[in-house]
Structure 1
Amino acid sequence: MPIPHKTPQELPAWQQLAALAAAPQPHLRDLLAADPAREARMAVSAAGLTLDASRQRCSPAVHGALQALAEQAGVADHRDAMFRGEAINTTEDRPVLHVALRGDPSWGGPWGAVVQADVQRELGRVCDFATRLRAGEVHGHSGEAITDVVNIGIGGSDLGPRMAADALAHLAHDTVRVHYVSNPDAWALYSVLRGLNPARTLLIVSSKTFTTQETLTNAASARRWLIDGGCPPDALSQHLVAITASPAKAASMGYPPERTFLFWDWVGGRYSVWSALGLPLAIAIGADGFRQFLAGARAMDGHFAQAPLSQNLPVQMALYGIWNRNFLQMPTQLIVPYASRLGRFTPFVQQMDMESNGKRTHCHGQPVNVDTGPIVWGGLGIDGQ
Structure 2
Amino acid sequence: MLVGVPKEIKKQEARVGLTPAAVREYVAHGHTVLVETGAGAGIGADDAAYAQAGATIAADAAQVFAAAEMIVKVKEPQPGEWAQLREGQILFTYLHLAPDPEQTRGLLDSGVTAVAYETVTEGNGLPLLAPMSEVAGRLSIEAAATASRAYNGGNGLLMGGVPGVAPARVVVLGGGVVGTHAARMAVGLGAEVSIVERSLPRLRALDELFGGRVRTRFSTLDGIEEEIRQADVVIGSVLVPGASAPKLITRDMLALMKPRTVLVDVAIDQGGCFETSHATTHAEPTYEVDGIIHYCVANMPGSVPRTSSHALNNATLPYGLALADGGVGGIVKNAGLVSGLSVHRGQLTSAPVAKSLGLNHIDAATALNAR
Q: Counting strand residues as a fraction of each chain, which structure ranks higher?
A: 2
TM value normalised by structure 2: 0.36
Give TM-score, length-normalised by structure 1. Answer: 0.35
Higher helix share: 1
